[in-house]
Chains A and B, each alone.
Chain A
Amino acid sequence: MPSPNDIRKGTVISRDGGLYVVVDFQRVSPGKGSSFVRTKMKSLATGKVKEENLKASENMEFADVLNKNMQYIFSDATGHTFMDGMTYEQVAIDKDVVGDDVKYLKEGLEVIVVTHDGKPIALDLPGKIEYTVKHTEPAVKGDTVSGNVTKEATMDNDLIVRVPIFIKIGDVIRVNTQTGEYTERINR
């Protein structure tokens, strides 16, 4: 029996007689309470989103889904197209399935496409993605003592991220896709 600790983005939960796809989740371990998973899920029937806290020890019922590693290729009016690197099969995914995550897509990005009954229902992005900085202003001398001095930087896929002032054009950085924040610079 799976438990809420096995939940990820794209997990399909069978609950209250309906099927729900997990769009977001957060594990919470309160200091002095039992841990739980704060789960945001979308009804596959109605598209309505609801939030529920699931006790970590609870038994869950997951519906069968297929997780496929695929690469992002391009977007057009009909949606976003991904390719299976093994079979070269291509799948177009509706814009609303990808939602806000569209800003993290870049050519060749490996993602997990979750399908249920042959229909793509969710995209599971890597927790951290590397990008090359396409543009950022050079550092200005100033307050570096307080540790929070950041500036805007544009990535190779036009994603905009606040980065520390030591980041230069051409640097490769890692971005946290849960928070949208800069994580670290990659040493090359």
Chain B
Amino acid sequence: MLSKDDIERRLTMWRTVEDALHVFFSAHGFTQVRTPLLVRYPDLSVNLDPMQVRFDCFAPKKIPVEAALITSPEFSMKKLLGVGMEKIYTITSVFRGTEALAPHNSPEFSMLEWYHPAGYEQGMQFARELVNDVLKCQNRWPIIAHADANVDEHGDPHIDEQRFILADYPADQAALARLSKDGKTAERFELFADGFELANGYCELLDGAEQKKRFAYEQWQRKQKGKPVFGIDEELVEALDRIDGPVTGVALGVDRLVMLKYGVGDINDVQLFPAQELWSGEVME
């Protein structure tokens, strides 16, 4: 365990960042919401490995339930939009299996996610302002099209900018985003800072039928890869048709924002219970 002084120091870093977030969202008329960590229908993306949970539910007789921990609060957030909420945000733990123990990764981390009525460009601008506000900096975050960023086969851009927004992803890399008018790219963007992804945003797809088709395709992809195939969240699909667009949603890694704010290079050096010590089983020198 860390010493009390170290715990308090790390807590202060988190509190400073979280306070700035709450102040920013409150000033822009957002409502903070709460979403479940345990769900029946997790994200279906073939690149994600939701952690599966089995338990017995007594309702009123014993029913075994197959569930998973969320990889992001996205589905629940969109259901809230479906009942008419407009500007919402949450800060929650999320869980990702097969996430390597590495300086920027942890199987459990904190995610900030927000949704607001905004088009694509407006959504990017808001994300940029939010991050600059928390970091107390004036970074330009230039927008660079995916096609111009020398992106390698792993999705890693190779350009000279230190902090930038990578935009206009190929249509097949954004199952939950709206397509551009010409249908060639998706309205998806990511904020990159100092060599890692900080935030991922979509101008959201709000067409239930189309979403269902994309989910079915993802199920097929998962099956091909031998990964567990989860069901389609019908409540989410129905909610999409009830949302007035455009809506932009962004997910941001809060641990990484804390790291950026304080110039810390390793996620384990900002967490109170460092993932490496929880999971690697490796005894530090």
Using a CB–CB cutoff of 8 Å, the interface residues on chain A facing chain B are 5, 26-36, 38, 53, 55-56, 110, 126-130, 144-148, 164, 166, 174, 176, 178-187
Contacts and interface: CB of A to CB of B under 8 A. Distances in A.
Interface string B170-195: 00011000000000000000100000
Interface of B: 1-3, 5-6, 9-10, 12-13, 15-16, 45, 47-48, 96, 98-105, 152-156, 173-174, 190, 196-197, 200, 251, 261-266, 268-269, 276, 284-285
B285 A183 contact: no
B9 A27 contact: no
B155 A30 contact: yes
Given A29-B96, A179-B266, A53 B152 contact: yes
Contacts of A145: 12, 16
Contact of A36 (B45, B48, B156, B268): B156
B105 A29 contact: yes
B156 A174 contact: no
Given A33-B154, A36-B156, A127-B284, A178 B3 contact: no
A185 B5 contact: yes
B240 to A, nearest CB: 19
A182 B3 CA distance: 13
Contacts, number: 118
Given A147-B12, A181-B266, 15 more contacts: A27-B100, A29-B105, A30-B47, A30-B197, A31-B190, A32-B47, A55-B153, A146-B12, A148-B13, A148-B262, A164-B9, A178-B265, A179-B269, A181-B269, A184-B2
Contact of B154 (A5, A26, A28, A126): A28
Contacts of A180: 265
B225 to A, nearest CB: 10
A180 B263 CA distance: 12
B111 to A, nearest CB: 10
A176 B266 contact: yes
Nearest to B105: A29
* Cβ-closest 3 pairs across A and B: A179-B265, A147-B12, A33-B155
- Chain B interface, >50% SS class: loop
Contact of B103 (A35, A146, A174, A178): A178
Contacts of A181: 264-266, 269
Contacts of A184: 2-3, 6
Given A179-B103, A184-B2, A184-B3, A30 B154 contact: yes
Contacts of A130: 285
A38 B266 contact: no
A52 B133 CA distance: 34
B43 to A, nearest CB: 9
Nearest to A128: B284
Contacts of A126: 284-285
Given A53-B152, A145-B12, A176-B266, A5 B284 contact: no
Contacts of B16: 145-147
A32 B48 CA distance: 7
A147 B154 contact: no
A34 B154 contact: yes
A126 B264 CA distance: 19
A28 B102 contact: yes
A32 B173 contact: yes
Given A33-B154, A176-B265, A181-B264, A164 B5 contact: yes
Nearest to A56: B100
Contacts of A26: 102-104
19 contacts: A26-B104, A27-B105, A30-B197, A31-B197, A32-B173, A33-B154, A33-B173, A34-B47, A35-B100, A129-B285, A146-B16, A147-B10, A148-B13, A148-B262, A181-B265, A182-B269, A183-B266, A184-B2, A187-B3
